[in-house]
């Protein structure tokens, strides 16, 4: 199982909005860069999904205030959690 193009765009765009800032820890920005490369290349591993689920969950309070399409983000988070929980 993997992300559809729409899901990848939603997740990628949302994470880009919050994690590509100077105020974000350099290690988090680097991990986001690697995730983005895997997302674009369709080469994500379980650890990538686990990281994305954690970050999306942490940023969840921002969804309701700044994004209209919180249902798409919620669906993407649920799928990410499912992908993260799958055995390799």
Q: What is the pLDDT of residues 14-52, one digit of tens each?
A: 899 889 888 999 999 999 999 999 998 888 999 999 999
Q: What is the pLDDT of residues 57-69, one digit of tens each?
A: 898 887 766 555 6
Q: How far apart are CA 12 and CA 5, in angstroms?
A: 10
Name the pLDDT band for 3 (thresholds 50, 70, 90): confident
CB atoms within 10 A of CB 76: 24
Q: Which is higher by pLDDT, 67 or 13?
A: 13
Residues 6+ apart with CB under 8 A from 6: 72
Q: What is the pLDDT of residues 44-87, one digit of tens each?
A: 999 999 999 999 889 888 776 655 567 788 888 888 888 888 86
- Which pLDDT does position 55 carry in this prediction? 92
Q: How far is CA 51 from CA 23, 36, 64, in A?
A: 19, 12, 21
**Closest by alpha carbon to 31, among 58, 4, 49?**
49
């Amino acid at each position: 199982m993997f992300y559809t193009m729409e899901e990848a765009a939603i997740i990628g765009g949302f994470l880009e909005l919050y994690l590509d800032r100077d105020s974000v820890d350099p290690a988090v920005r680097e991990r986001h860069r690697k995730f983005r490369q895997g997302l674009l290349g369709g080469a994500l591993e379980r650890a990538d999904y686990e990281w994305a689920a954690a970050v999306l969950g942490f940023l969840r309070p921002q969804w309701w205030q700044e994004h209209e399409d919180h249902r798409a983000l919620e669906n993407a988070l649920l799928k990410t959690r499912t992908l993260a929980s799958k055995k390799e």
